[in-house]
Amino acid sequence: MNLLFSNDKRGEYPPSYYAATATPPGPFDELRGETTADVCVVGGGYTGLSAALHLAQRGLDVALVEAHRVGFGASGRNGGHVGTGFNLEQPLLEKLVGRDDARMLWTLAEEAKTLTRDLIAEHAPEAAYKKGIAHAQWQTKGAQEFHEYADFLAENYDYTETQKLTAEEMRQVVNSPRYQGGVIDWGSGHIHPLRYAFGLARAAQSAGVRLHEGSHVHHIEYGSKPVVRTDKGKVNAKYVVLACNGYLGGLNRNVAARVMPINNFMIATEPLGDFADQVLAKDIAVDDSKFVVNYFHMSEDKRLIFGGGESYGYRYPDDIVTKVRKPLLRIFPQLADTRIDYAWGGTLAITIPRLPYFARPEPNVWSVSGYSGYGVALTGLAGKLIAESIAGESDRFDVFDRIPDIRFPGGRMMAHPLLVLAMSWYSLRDRIGL
């Protein structure tokens, strides 16, 4: 079964708040017949659009093929958090890759945030970048660990954008009885994610990229002259960029062995009006310390956009509202009578080390995926580094490529059930408060 078509209608954006409040570009014509390009980009999310834009700006002839619509996948469905660093704290990253590479990766992650803000300012101001993400802890001990990590970043990486909060100070920002303190990272922020994707698509088109929607890639012939085959056409290319993330399917076994798709779910409440300040006192985003993380922010029309709950099979649950309402009401019991106007799901991808997987899995093929929840910022940079590498400037791409290569255990047949077992265990720990 293919995740591209398991839960969504072909070529239709999901019924999300984001889709209801963004104007898509195009539509762009389906690829029909045979064409040639310097680079064929597979996937019209942030990674693919950024790679296509940066490649075209370097003068390369680029064709991008997307099975549905640009921004259709995780890029248009996520929480919009432009976060700092990675889903692995720097001390652990230093142990994994060494201090020098960990510092280089930190510098690149900081550049990723700056690049994202610059791309938004130039191509998608309507995405409305807003400063601040609060990292909220469910346990007092955990809040102290957040504070210690903030001190570590200040002392070792000169990162001083973090404000430490006690339980009472957190309550003044996030009006929930659950959180026992945490930090606000003022160097991060949040955006309207689908508007950002649409802005990148328009910029790529203006730069000369040939965008093709409704063009499902079912096979790639690898080799010195790769051929990308869609349902009704093919692209003969010098280079191929795989920018599929959780929707890769069977296009490349090497990547699929290291990057695993998971589903996440979101809701948007009715407009809360003046009551919004009784939920969030600041216009910031929030995520928390649960393994199955809860994350939320207030929309421009004062709806609470809330993400929570995961699944690890191909199909979404029949009732997304019920699934997400449970963690919502644990955090905000005052919203018990609030109407839910939108509910949607999306597929992202994770890796074992919770770091993005940068690779050249075949000759003349580049791939980046598995952002593990930190993709809004890192994808723009990934596209830029792919363009640099294809142009022969690989040093920065190779910093990521040196991250240890870890396959999911059990091979392709056993990787998914083992992942389900592990994730279910951690989800149980969340529910019983461990």
φ/ψ of 226, rounded to 5, equals -65, 150
What's the burial of 336, exposed, middle or buried (CB within 10 Å: 0-12/13-18/19+)?
exposed
* Alpha carbon separation from 26 to 19, 70, 126, 216, 422 (Å, rounded): 14, 9, 17, 17, 41
Of 390, 396, 397, 398, the residue nearest 38 (C-alpha): 390
Instruction: Give the pLDDT confidence score for residue 428 in this predicted structure.
Output: 46
Instruction: Give the pLDDT confidence score for residue 424 in this predicted structure.
Output: 53
Amino acid in position 167:
A
Q: How many CA atoms lie within 13 A of 8 on its CB side?
A: 24
Instruction: Give the pLDDT confidence score for residue 405 in this predicted structure.
Output: 86
Instruction: Give the pLDDT confidence score for residue 104 in this predicted structure.
Output: 98
Instruction: Give the pLDDT confidence score for residue 426 in this predicted structure.
Output: 44
Instruction: Give the pLDDT confidence score for residue 413 in this predicted structure.
Output: 52
Of 193, 190, 197, 161, the residue nearest 47 (C-alpha): 197
Return the domain boundaries, the chain: 131-190+261-348
Instruction: Give the pLDDT confidence score for residue 309 in this predicted structure.
Output: 86
The tokens describing 365, both together, are 């093929």
Average pLDDT by consecutive 10-residue portion of the chain (434 residues)?
84 96 97 98 98 98 98 97 98 98 98 98 98 98 97 98 98 98 98 98 98 98 97 98 96 95 96 97 97 95 94 86 97 98 96 96 98 97 98 97 88 54 49 50
Q: What kind of fold does domain 131-190+261-348 have according to CATH?
A: D-Amino Acid Oxidase; Chain A, domain 2 (3.30.9)
Instruction: Give the pLDDT confidence score for residue 412 in this predicted structure.
Output: 53
Instruction: Give the pLDDT confidence score for residue 415 in this predicted structure.
Output: 52
Instruction: Give the pLDDT confidence score for residue 219 in this predicted structure.
Output: 97
